[in-house]
Structure 1
């Protein structure tokens, strides 16, 4: 196995916990806690349209707590 292959395999930290937040304040609290513990995070945002009000949309967040800080690699 090449050094590059080993780095690619180890670049993906393990997931500890996943939560879904409805507000930025909730997300900020989770980010602060993860930073205090020295853990990594992955945050994804998505738009939700309520069935009872199709003209309105809200942004929600998927928060994944990782075992360590993710390594960002540059893509060619």
Structure 2
């Protein structure tokens, strides 16, 4: 069983992530998101957003930088 898994992974290695391209399989794909801005709003969506604490922002920074480096978030 183990050898069969390795064989399949090797056969389809172009879609697998690597250290150089961690998001290789999904690069180039985009998803269009349309936000609903018409009433009635969902009650939670009209509440003001609360900023993350400095500690939480610091913890998220490496992930945010990695996603920007990989050009995952893009403006429409």
TM-score by length of 2: 0.25
Q: Which has the higher contact order (CA 8 A, sep 6+)?
A: 1
- Of Structure 1 and Structure 2, which has the larger fraction of its residues in strand? 1
TM-score by length of 1: 0.25
Q: Which has the larger radius of gyration?
A: 2
